[in-house]
Structure 1
Amino acid sequence: MSILKRIQDIVLANVNEVLDKIENPVCMVKHYIREMENEILQAEKALSRQMVIKKKHEMLIEETEAAIAKRDRQAKLAVETGEDHIAKLALQDKLLLEKKLEEYRKQHETIKQQTVSLGDQVKKMKEKHRELKNRQLVLLSRANAAQSMKKLQSFLSTVDAESVTKEFARLEERVLMMEIEANARRGTQGIDLGIESRFAEQAIQDEVEKELEKLKAKQAVSENKQ
């Protein structure tokens, strides 16, 4: 094999290994979940800003309605006092405010719809996120089981079952011999103790006989003197 061919094979092997890692389903799911969590975070920030804008428009509408009511009272008061010029100015301002109010209300309706839509999107994204998290647990369990099975199959394929069986048989035979030796040693110790005990008893009996003979001899001497 040429050097260039070997280099090509090594490069291809490394590329395939990298691709396998990239296509790891557990890693891919984690990547998708991280992306979704980031999207949810951004969507929640946008929803928060939208709620602030909606609240500001509601306050603007309330302020404009209050200003219209005020101009209306001013116009009526000017008419009552015969100040038509002031009444016209108040009415003119009132009409401008009413046009602004109409525009504010249209904007508020649009903002409200956008807020509801964005809130629904955030809710759906969170539900999808929970679903993916649950599926991730299942996928992780399946991947671990598959990996364990793969390792087990790889181990079994490299193990010579016949050699292992013979080795176990040899070990069992060795343990059996060890047990036999231990039992034999224990039995021998028992026999030795029995022999020693008998010898000790015989020695005592011999001493007793000797003492008895001494007593008899003394008794005989005493009787002869009498």
Structure 2
Amino acid sequence: MSLFNRIANLTKASLHEVLNKLENPVIMTGQYLRNLEDDIRIAENMLKEQQMNASIRLRKSEDAANAAKESELRALAALEAGDEAGAKVAAAAKIRYEEQAQQYATEAKEAQDRVAELEYRLKEGKEEHARLKEKRNELATRVRKVEEHEQMERPNFSRGMDYGAAARGFERMEEKILEWEAGTQLSGQSYTGSGASSATNPEDNTAVAEELQRMKEQLASRKN
């Protein structure tokens, strides 16, 4: 099933371009959660429909099976009465009802299988929603820390975009926040020293560059 695998409205390339320009990516995680909530509601409605469908098919199968038994009794009674023509009609009806009973039973089984799959997908979706909601809180906390260090440099923040693919989006959000955190550390170093004319230690810049490279490699290994 692709119920919880929505394709984003934006292409991956344009999505990354937007994220690179966006100053507060955590805002977008709310849209991811809303998309997932919509999917969960759709699945819940589908589950109810399939449960009803399975119930109806089972009842029809039982009714057809009962009708087949009644037709068999009529055929036997007709034979005992010497009514061969009536026995043939009743026997034909019995066969037809048995076929219907089998068909309805097959359809009921298929509906029950869909019910089981939807129940599993719903459980997965709700667990994923809870995990991403908690992750969003974590990312929001990290963003607030960045904002506190960059109030003068980043006074305003952009507001959301609409696209899906919740889990992949959250990973991209975290990558963006890691870049901010690293940038905040570098910015903090630029204010150290005796005054505005003091030089930055080249070794410190090298260490920061190495640390940024390490984090980029770490993110790349997670994706792989």
Q: Same fold (TM over 0.5)?
A: yes
Residue 18 of structure 1, CA deviation: 10
Superposed CA deviations along residues 32-61 of structure 1, whole A, max 9, x for unmatched, are 001101111111111111111111101111
Find the counterpart in structure 1 of residue 105 from structure 2. Answer: 105
SS of the residue corresponding to residue 151 of structure 1 reads: coil
Aligned pairs for 1:57-206 within 5 A: 57-151=57-151
How far 1:143 sits from its partner (Å)? 1.4
Cα separation, 1, equivalents of 2:135 and 2:101:
50
Give a deviation string over 1:101-135, Cα, whole Å, max 9, x none.
Answer: 22222222222111211221111111100111111
Aligned to 2:22: 20
Letter in 2 for 1:63: D
Match of residue 209 from structure 2: none
2-structure distance, mates of 1:31, 1:125: 15
Within 1, Cα distance between the matches of 2:69 and 2:136? 60
Task: List aligned pairs for 1:36-55, cutoff 5 A.
Answer: 36-55=36-55
Give how far 1:151 is off.
Answer: 2.6
Distance (Å, rounded) in 2 between the aligned partners of 1:52 and 1:16:
44
Cα deviation, 1:166-225, whole Å, max 9, x if unaligned, reads xxxxxxxxxxxxxxxxxxxxxxxxxxxxxxxxxxxxxxxxxxxxxxxxxxxxxxxxxxxx
Cα pair distance change 1:93/1:17, threshold 3 Å: closer
* TM-superposition CA deviations, 1:52-75 (whole Å, max 9, x none): 111110111111111111111111
Residues matched between the structures, number: 143
Alignment partners' CA distance in 2, 1:45 and 1:33: 19
**Structure 2 letter corresponding to 1:133:** K
Q: Any runs of at least 4 consecutive aligned residues in structure 1 with deviations exceeding 3 A, and if so which?
A: 15-19
CA distance in 1, matches of 2:129, 2:19: 30
Cα RMSD after superposing both structures: 2.8
CA separation of 1:28 and 1:16: change in aligned 2, threshold 3 A:
closer
**Larger CA deviation: 74-83 vs 37-46:** 74-83
CA distance in 2, matches of 1:121, 1:17: 29
What amino acid maps onto 2:22 in structure 1? D
**Aligned-partner Cα distance in 2 for 1:98–1:81:** 24
Shift of the 26–115 alpha-carbon distance from structure 1 to 2, 3 Å rule, reads same
Name whichever of 69-78 and 33-42 sits farther off. Answer: 69-78
Rounded to whole Å, the distance in 1 between the matches of 2:64 and 2:47 is 25
SS at match of 2:22: helix
Classify 1:115/1:80 alpha carbon distance in 2 versus 1 (closer, same or farther; 3 Å). same
Structure 1-normalised TM-score? 0.56
TM-score by length of 2: 0.57
